[in-house]
Amino acid sequence: GQLRGSSRWGGNFNLRTGAQFIGGIQYAHNPPSVGAPNAPAAQSGLPGTYKLGFWYDTAGYPDQRFDTRGLSLANPASSGIARTDRGNFSLYAVADQTIWQPDPEQPMALAVFLRPMIAPSDRNQINFSVNGGVTLKAPLPGRDDDTLGLGFGVANIGGGARGLARDLALFSATYVPGRGAETFVELTYQAQIAPWWQLQPDIQYRWRTGGGVADPNRPGKALGNALIIGVRNLITF
């Protein structure tokens, strides 16, 4: 980071906080022609891409439930300092497959995708997530570069954070909501207004927002379901 006064050259690079390694493999079958990624593929089957990946970090991560003495962080006798768990990692996969294309010479195509992920639950709030959906390229006449998408997702709160919520309920005199999974559905439309301008309205509905996290404005209550509406505006210069 750039910290004034910490280095003669105005920069401070800490080499004692671990290193992160990222890797993955990918397999694509029936891909579009080289040099024309948006062109319809001239092949006997429909295109698809499959990936497997990981990341690993050697640094220490705070435990989601226990302190340095092995007590729950919710325990009044706790030091309040989370135990450091050495190392962290995540494994993920991606599948993106076209399942319908009425005319190989036209852009209209229907595809499905799925993305699962896992991570250790003692040092990550979310230990498992999966999202997937379906996309339709060129959904309307004359809109070859537009995409309509419908998706879903689940993010599961890991055992460490769930256990801490149970401990808080045990040691607290007030009601503490239990933790669980957050689920959402999403509808979006990516519109290519001009070669340099893309608009993407998006609507999402989420159940158990935050996986049962407490509502700061309503003590003893969990955050309710949420409706989210937005527009993404992308301009390329």
State the Cα–Cα distance between residues 185 and 206, nearest whole angstrom: 7
State the Cα–Cα distance between residues 27 and 18, nearest whole angstrom: 31
Residue 6: per-residue pLDDT: 57
State the Cα–Cα distance between residues 158 and 152, nearest whole angstrom: 20
Tokens for 16, please give them. 């004692």
Question: Are residues 65 and 72 in contact, defined by beta-carbon separation less than 8 angstroms?
Answer: yes
The predicted model scores a pTM of: 0.84
> What b/e sequence results for 110-129 when a residue is b if at least 16 CB atoms lie within 10 Å of its CB, and e otherwise?
bbebebebbbbbbbbbbbbb
Using CA atoms, how far residue 232 sits from 23, 25, 91, 225, 226, in Å, is 30, 30, 29, 22, 19
Residue 161: per-residue pLDDT: 96
123 Ramachandran zone, left/alpha/beta (phi>0; psi -120 to 50): alpha
Residue 1: per-residue pLDDT: 47
Q: For residue 224, which of 197, 205, 237, 203 has the smallest C-alpha distance?
A: 205
Do the strands 181-194 and 226-235 form a parallel or antiparallel pair, or are they unpaired?
unpaired
Tokens for 40, please give them. 């319809």
> What b/e sequence results for 55-90 when a residue is b if at least 16 CB atoms lie within 10 Å of its CB, and e otherwise?
eebeebbebbbbbeeebbbbbeebeeebbebeebbb
10-residue stretch averages of pLDDT, the chain, 237 residues long: 55 78 96 61 79 97 97 96 97 98 93 99 97 98 96 98 94 86 98 96 96 85 94 96
Q: Which residues contact 106 (CB under 8 A, 6 or more apart)?
A: 40, 138
Residue 4: per-residue pLDDT: 53
3-state secondary structure of 6: coil
User: Which residue ranges make up each domain of the chain?
Assistant: 20-30+45-235
User: Sign of the CA dihedral 200, 206, 212, 215?
Assistant: positive
Residue 2: per-residue pLDDT: 45
Residue 216: per-residue pLDDT: 85
Tokens for 46, please give them. 């429909």
Residue 46: per-residue pLDDT: 94
